């Protein structure tokens, strides 16, 4: 629920010349935003606010059209405003340097009451990594975590979808709360809102832009006890989130990638000291002394993987028994060698199998040690 102080803080944000950085300076200096519109010139100048902007605050030179349009947009999408002074503002985020003074949220903000863990990764992740991300988020959600991610393609959206199966999730956006990127993921919005919330620091007139994502990433890590990177390429946003987590004093977890994978930056994180993560239990073990009431879940159930054809499902089942070359797979499956080679190439592209240096194939490393069986996709 939007508080009176949140409305007053939105008015401050709509004062001409006031940006988030100005509000952060006031909060850092005064320790609160309550009564910020009643501060005098001396105090504002002491906090490092420029003279012209200080005069606009003292005289309440508010962009009334912006303020009204913002309230209207928030009402239309049923969004709440959270001020950093509010009791319901996420506590972990409040403790971080440069925490946003205003958050705009759609959905159930009660998810902020749960301990949060971020799951991030490549937009162009392998199929196996996306499946792993979804299972990991599902397990962590069931254990009691709020799963935080960025609503992007690939790892992010699979983490959200896994979380809502047995827990809650928070999607952090790099645009106004009434805009979405990418549009392809809009079909998943209702699932997220039903079991969590969508949150942003940007005003509703802010459209998605590349420059917004580093700021978005600091919120993802700031909300969370730790950040799990599933797959990441060099110089990716996921690595920025991991770096920010380290700077904020949060744990960094990384899922190992096979060397032939195109997204192997997680291995560099592991070399730099990130916590090796092969299942939800690795996260529980690391954080159980910081967080109480986490649930350890019996994960003996069978995972079902979907393939594009019965041939691929059969080949994968054979490879779950051990490494095999195309000729051996052809003999054991009864498929002609050309069909085997074509299907293996497709499965390798999707991350289900890997080719060893001796020419033999094996099931993807992220699936090892699990009770998996395959089925043909219904798509």
**How confident is the model over 175-184, as pLDDT tens digits?**
999 888 888 8
CATH topology (fold) of 303-376: Arc Repressor Mutant, subunit A (1.10.10)
Helices (H), 167-296: 189-194, 213-222, 237-247, 265-271, 280-287
Q: At what angle do helices 213-222 and 237-247 cross, to 10 degrees?
A: 50
Percentage of residues in the chain with pLDDT exceeding 70?
A: 93
φ/ψ of 349, rounded to 5, equals: -60, -35
pLDDT for the residue numbered 350: 82
> For 158-180, what is each residue's pLDDT tens digit?
999 999 999 999 999 999 998 88
pLDDT for the residue numbered 369: 37
pLDDT band at 306 (very low <50, low <70, confident <90, very high): low
pLDDT for the residue numbered 303: 46
**Residue 373 pLDDT more than 60?**
no
pLDDT for the residue numbered 247: 94
Level-2 CATH architecture, domain 109-287: 3-Layer(aba) Sandwich (3.40)
What predicted TM-score, i.e. pTM, was given to this entire model? Answer: 0.79
Q: Report, as an integer, the average pLDDT of 300-311.
A: 64
pLDDT band at 298 (very low <50, low <70, confident <90, very high): low
Cα 44 off chain centre by: 36
> For 239-282, what is each residue's pLDDT tens digit?
999 999 999 999 999 999 877 777 889 999 999 999 999 999 99
Q: At what angle do helices 20-30 and 4-13 cross, to 10 degrees?
A: 130
| Residue in 289, 296, 236 with CA at minimum distance from that of residue 266 | 236
- For the chain, domain boundaries: 4-76, 109-287, 303-376
pLDDT band at 6 (very low <50, low <70, confident <90, very high): very high
């Amino acid at each position: 629920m939007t508080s009176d102080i949140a409305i007053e803080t939105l008015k401050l944000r709509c004062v001409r010349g006031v940006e988030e950085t100005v509000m952060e300076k006031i909060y850092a200096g005064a320790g609160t935003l309550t009564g910020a519109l009643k501060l005098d010139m001396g105090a504002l100048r002491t906090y490092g606010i420029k003279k012209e902007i200080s005069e606009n605050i003292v005289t309440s030179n508010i962009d009334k059209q912006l303020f009204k349009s913002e309230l209207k947009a928030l009402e239309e999408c049923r969004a709440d405003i959270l001020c950093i002074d509010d009791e319901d503002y996420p506590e972990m985020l409040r403790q971080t340097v440069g925490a946003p003074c205003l958050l705009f949220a759609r959905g159930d903000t009660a998810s902020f009451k749960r301990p949060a863990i971020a799951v991030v990764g490549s937009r162009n992740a392998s199929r196996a990594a996306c499946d792993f991300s979804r299972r990991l988020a599902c397990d962590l959600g069931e254990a009691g975590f709020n799963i935080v991610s960025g609503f992007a393609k690939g790892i992010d959206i699979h983490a959200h979808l896994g979380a809502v199966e047995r827990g809650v999730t928070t999607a952090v956006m790099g645009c106004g709360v009434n805009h979405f990127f990418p549009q392809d993921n809009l079909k998943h919005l209702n699932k997220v809102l039903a079991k969590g919330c969508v949150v942003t620091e940007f005003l509703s007139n802010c459209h998605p832009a590349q420059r917004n994502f580093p700021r978005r990433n600091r919120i993802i890590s700031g909300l969370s006890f730790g950040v799990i990177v599933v797959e990441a390429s060099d110089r990716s946003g996921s690595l920025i989130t991991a770096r920010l987590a380290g700077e904020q004093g949060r744990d960094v977890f990384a899922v190992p990638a096979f060397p032939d994978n195109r997204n192997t930056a997680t291995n560099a994180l592991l070399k730099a000291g990130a916590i090796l993560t092969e299942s939800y239990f690795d996260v529980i073990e690391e954080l159980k002394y910081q967080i109480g009431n986490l649930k350890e879940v019996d994960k003996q159930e069978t995972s079902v993987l979907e393939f594009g054809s019965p041939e691929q499902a059969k080949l994968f089942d054979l490879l779950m028994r051990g490494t095999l070359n195309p000729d051996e797979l052809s003999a054991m499956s009864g498929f002609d060698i050309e069909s085997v080679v074509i299907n293996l190439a497709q499965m390798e592209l999707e991350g289900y199998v890997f080719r060893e240096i001796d020419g033999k194939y094996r099931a993807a490393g992220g699936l090892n040690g699990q009770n998996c069986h395959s089925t043909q996709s219904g798509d």
